[in-house]
Amino acid sequence: MTPVGRVYLVGAGPGDPGLITVRGRDCLRRAEVVVYDYLANPRLLDEAPPAAERIYVGKTRGLHHRPQEEINRLLAERAKQGKTVVRLKGGDPYVFGRGGEEALYLREQGIAFEVVPGVTAGFAAAAYAGIPLTHRDYTTSLGLLTGHENPEKKMSSLDWEKLATGVGTLVFYMGMANLELIARELVRHGRAPETPVAIVRWATTPRQRTLCGTLADIVAKVEAARFKPPAVIIVGEVVALRAHLAWFEQRPLFGRRLLSTRSAEQAGVFQELLEAQGAEVVSVPTIATLAPLDWQGVDEGIAALARTDYLILTSANAVRFFLERLRARGRDLRALAGVKIVAVGPKTAAALAAQGLTADLVPENYQAEGVVKLLGGLGVTGKRVFYPHAELARDLIPRELRALGAEVQDPVLYRTVLPERGGEELRRLLEDRRLDGVIFTASSTVENFVRMLGEDAASLLSGVAVASIGPPTTATARKLGLRVDIEPSASTLEDLAAALGDYFRDKPLRFAQD
């Protein structure tokens, strides 16, 4: 007996990957085949198992969609092979998405299917542009319409007479090519020319842009701004509420494209911080971390933990490499029982906490100087200090602590090296002028950035804001001929993200049209 497959018609939501439903994501996680198109956020594909077959059926630049019949056949064929198929569709599958046609075909073929609704573009665009689609004081009815030019029908299927005055809020999908006709017909059939209109493109993504006008002037405004699809057109008095309710586009980093230079392991957390403020983050790691060439010093330190007073760790990487090595040596957390652990800052402390360890001491300013001051204050004469560190770390901690009478072991715990790839990509991003800012969160990221780009690093950065997490990183940047525009007063990722927000808040957006 051949196994029976099933097709899930899943709404991917409007663009923001967070706007897929929980059930939709569950379907993706179980998918063996994912058939997706242009408007579904490709990031959602990461939810599907790595082995799942991914088939793109959307239109590519200049080319047309795959014929619907072909998509129908593809879905049926994979399901008949016994596969769990997810047909991932932008927005909601049953709103102008031809999901109805796909479902009818599957029914005809006797193939089981389920439908998972999605947040449709019109609802999402309204929410993210600050437009309540209904409001008791303005309107009590809402229409979703297609403004698509169908050469055979010429939009004759819309009853303008009734729409113009019979429905409060009108939301047009696929209407940009027919905007002039839409505005003209609505006014001709009795809608006031001063009725407000908002056009929202790439809603819910970092590329969202909103253009407002009235039925009388919106066409001219769209031409002047060269505003392009995909966009929804919202017509109605409720559009006026946007003046009070816009929020998405007002987040401090909204519309900024920022480059993160952190290592692949460390990019994630920071990226989330920036995205929460509205930024689009491009990550090109300038750092990869590797084990030391020789573990001897670290292993000696591990063997001597029972006699150690302080263990100093100055990065989440240090926590990771140290604990991995500890375990590789057949030891576990109990080896640290009598040792006071010093973490340089909250991120290192959090990395320890994630492993079940509490940092005993964290300095106030989250820097090497702070560690020295803290331990100096406690008195370290005759104390044993173990400080396994990154290869090129400054020698401030061991030097100062020894001067204070401590016995310090400071072997190399990990090395940061130049990643093999990324130079080309960096150059292309900067040459294409597609970045608003570049962010350095360690001296080594600056050094490698300059090595990856070579001599013209500084000139490639002209017009791009440069952000540094703190004084040592800034000093390295300046030494290498780079200008630094943004530096937070405290050296944490949160403060850096906030400083970026303050810097960009009132600057005009650069990339409105791509």
Report how far residue 225's alpha carbon sits from residue 198's, in angstroms, rounded to the nearest whole number: 13
Q: How far is the CB of 93 from ligand SAH (least distance, A)?
A: 7
3-state secondary structure 227-251: CCCCEEEEECHHHHHHHHHCCHHHC
d(CA 125, CA 249) in angstroms, rounded, equals 12
Q: Taking the complex as a whole, how short is the minimal distance between the CB of residue 90 and ligand SAH, in angstroms?
A: 5
Nearer to ligand SAH, 204 or 473 (CB): 204
Q: Which is nearer to ligand SAH, 44 or 385 (CB)?
A: 44
Question: Are 166 and 286 a contacting pair, CB within 8 Å?
Answer: no
CA separation for the pair 70, 76 (Å, rounded): 10
Nearer to ligand SAH (CB atom), residue 65 or residue 331: 65
Q: Cis peptide before 196, with omega less than 30 degrees from 0?
A: no
* Amino acid letter, residue 497: A
**Residue placing its CB nearer to ligand SAH in the complex, 14 or 130:** 14
143 sits in which H/E element: strand 142-146
- Min separation Cβ 200 and ligand SAH, Å: 6
At 59, list the tokens. Answer: 């239109």
Nearer to ligand SAH, 218 or 397 (CB): 218
Nearest to 236 by CA among 126, 92, 124: 126
Angle between helices 316-328 and 296-303 (to 10 degrees): 70
Residue 213 Cα distances to 30, 145, 218, 235, angstroms: 45, 19, 5, 10
Residues 6+ apart with CB under 8 A from 462: none
Give the shortest CB-117-to-ligand SAH separation in angstroms. Answer: 9
Smaller CB separation from ligand SAH, 87 or 262: 87
* Residue with smallest beta-carbon separation from ligand SAH: 91
Nearer to ligand SAH, 120 or 441 (CB): 120
Catalytic residues: 37, 59, 174
Least spacing, CB of residue 179 vs ligand SAH, in Å: 11
Rounded CA-CA distance 419/267 in Å is 14
Q: Which residues contact residue 6 at a Cβ distance below 8 angstroms, ignoring those fewer than 6 apart?
A: 79, 84, 85, 111, 112, 113, 114
Q: How far is the CB of 452 from ligand SAH (least distance, A)?
A: 34
Q: Which positions lie near ligand SAH, rule CB under 6 A?
A: 14-15, 39, 89-92, 95-97, 120-121, 125, 173-174, 200-204, 229-232
By the 8 A CB rule, do 3 and 111 touch?
Answer: no
In the complex, the smallest distance separating the C-beta of residue 229 from ligand SAH, rounded to whole angstroms, is 5
Nearer to ligand SAH, 39 or 453 (CB): 39
CB 20 within 8 A of CB 13: yes
Lookup: tokens for 252: 């401090």
Give the residue from 14, 239, 213, 204 showing the smallest Cα distance to 132.
Answer: 239
Dist CA 19 CA 367 (whole Å): 39
Q: Shortest distance, CB of residue 232 to ligand SAH, whole angstroms?
A: 4
Residue 91 contacts residue 13 (beta carbons within 8 Å):
yes
> Least Å distance between CB 207 and ligand SAH?
9
Using DSSP bridges, classify how beta strands 288-290 and 465-468 pair: parallel, antiparallel or unpaired: unpaired
Q: Which is nearer to ligand SAH, 127 or 464 (CB)?
A: 127
Rg (CA), the chain: 29
DSSP 307: G
Which residue in 105, 84, 117, 107 sits closest to 7, CA to CA?
A: 84
